Amino acid sequence: MTATETAAASGAARRRREAAVPAALVSLALLGVNGLAYVMTVVAARALAPEAFGELAALLGVMFIGVVPATALQTASALTLGANPADRAAVLARLHTATWVGAAAVGVLGLVAVAPLVSLLHLSGPSTVLWLIAVLVPHTLVGGYDGLLQGNRRYGRLALVNTTFGLLKSGGGIAGLLIGGTPEAALVGMAIGCACSAVVGWSFNGRPGFTRGIRRHVVSAAKASGALLGLVLMVNLDLLLARHHLPASLAGEYAVASIFAKVAFWLPQGVSVVLLPRLAHARGRRRLLPVAATLVALVGALLTAATAVLGARALPLVGGAEYGDALGGATWVFAMLGTLFALAQLLLYSGIAASDRVAAVAVWCAVALEAAAVEVLAAREGLTVLTVAGIAVGASVLLVSTGLLRLWRTHAREGLELRNAAATA
């Protein structure tokens, strides 16, 4: 090895060591954020009657769909900055402007969806949906600010912003539950927390301004939204379908069981956050994705095994003694479902980075398959808590399997292209 190669290898090793600590901090921060969200859900399950908790869980399911633009803006910003553009200051200003455009669009679309949501979720009025919109608009801004920090690999600041966001959002929701004792009160507290978090995110990004020339960034975020909307819809579709088709008491039990799916989905999120900017390059995708997928699967397997060991004690442990009759010891199915969701998300990020349009089509096909299967069983009066969960598991297995196949084929093609480029250089 030459002196130049030795210096380059030493520099690369030093950069990896310098990034290791803040990357670990991001993972810990995300675990804390998701843990706080879990605590809020547990508080809600114990503070609200099953019918009221089912309503709040359904609204939170809609919220997960409504934050798709935030996730898309974060993804597009991280990939754009991860590609190391020449004029980063100008790109930062354009991405910031695109974030505000996305937040405004979320507000407008939310207002259009008020009446359909009131009817679909059997709500008594529009007030809870309006407060949900008040949560989503600043939430979108926070997602954009996270993407700016993520793409610049400012992991220390990203960890602080995420921690603050989790404390303010979930803390506001818990305060609302304890003070008001209703789903609407929880959303009011969350809206206040998200608004404060947006200010923090803007400050930690150096208070960027606004500029023109955002069309390319808006288009990139819109394309990512199509794929991510399918994934987020799939992650929450079973809960929404259970709320719509099952009796209120069973829908409430399904909502508590879905906490295990959400935990399994949340736990490995730090892997995707740290990995995402590196997916902008084909070499990074080929080198890091297999390891990341193995790590996500291992975390999910451990959680599923732990839930299986708890058996019939798992659901009452989270929701209280009034839950567990419909599921018995089968709560582990939901932990396995969350693991499949996490793997599907990781594979979808790879597809977005590689401009793989089939990835988005596969997600939407899985969503359609799951919805159709539930509707058929509902028409035959054959729906139970376990059948809804089983259909979701089947659709997720199909999605992950096709994703792994696409990943193998894409990596083989990219590897051939890299070898050909090296041979001609």
Instruction: List pLDDT tens digits, range 203-243.
Output: 999 899 898 889 888 888 888 888 888 888 888 888 888 88
| Structure confidence at residue 423 (pLDDT) | 66
pLDDT digits (tens, 9 = 90+) for 238-257: 888 888 888 877 888 888 88
Is the model's pLDDT at 300 over the cut of 50?
Answer: yes
Highest mean pLDDT among 366-370, 377-381, 387-391: 366-370
Provide the percentage of residues in the chain whose pLDDT is more than 70.
Answer: 88
pLDDT band at 386 (very low <50, low <70, confident <90, very high): confident
Q: Residue 259: which H helix or E strand, with range?
A: helix 248-266
Is the model's pLDDT at 342 over the cut of 80?
Answer: yes
What DSSP designation does 278 have?
A: G
Alpha helices in 67-182 (DSSP H): 68-82, 88-112, 114-120, 127-151, 155-180
Integer Cα distance of 197 and 249 in angstroms? 35
pLDDT band at 146 (very low <50, low <70, confident <90, very high): very high
pLDDT band at 377 (very low <50, low <70, confident <90, very high): confident
**DSSP states of 153-203 as a string?**
T-HHHHHHHHHHHHHHHHHHHHHHHHHH-SHHHHHHHHHHHHHHHHHHHHH
Integer Cα distance of 406 and 400 in angstroms? 10
> What are the angstrom distances between the C-alpha of 119 and each of 114, 125, 203, 376?
9, 9, 40, 21
Residue environment code for 86-122, b if the CB has 16+ CB neighbours within 10 A, otherwise e: eeeeebbbbbbbbbebbbebbeeebeebbeebbeebe
| Structure confidence at residue 94 (pLDDT) | 93
| Structure confidence at residue 397 (pLDDT) | 92
Integer Cα distance of 99 and 147 in angstroms? 10
Backbone angles phi, psi at 206, to 5 degrees: 80, 20
Is the model's pLDDT at 380 over the cut of 70?
Answer: yes
> Looking at residues 330-349, what average pLDDT do you find?
90
pLDDT digits (tens, 9 = 90+) for 165-185: 999 999 999 999 999 989 999
Which value, to the nearest 10 degrees, does the dihedral of the CA atoms of residues 133, 137, 143, 149 take? -160
pLDDT band at 410 (very low <50, low <70, confident <90, very high): low
Integer Cα distance of 43 and 319 in angstroms? 9
Residue 376 amino acid letter: V
pLDDT digits (tens, 9 = 90+) for 51-108: 888 888 888 878 878 888 998 999 999 988 887 777 788 889 999 999 999 999 999 9
pLDDT digits (tens, 9 = 90+) for 12-41: 445 444 445 555 677 677 778 877 887 898
Residues 6+ apart with CB under 8 A from 249: 50, 51
Residues 6+ apart with CB under 8 A from 170: 33, 36, 37, 39, 40, 190, 193
pLDDT digits (tens, 9 = 90+) for 109-142: 999 999 999 988 888 889 999 999 999 999 999 9
Backbone Cα Rg of the chain? 22
> What are the angstrom distances between the C-alpha of 51 and each of 188, 292, 319?
20, 39, 13
If you average pLDDT over every residue of the chain, what do you get? 84
| Structure confidence at residue 27 (pLDDT) | 66
Integer Cα distance of 301 and 334 in angstroms? 12
Rounded to the nearest 5 percent, the helix, strand and coil shares of the chain are 85, 0, 15
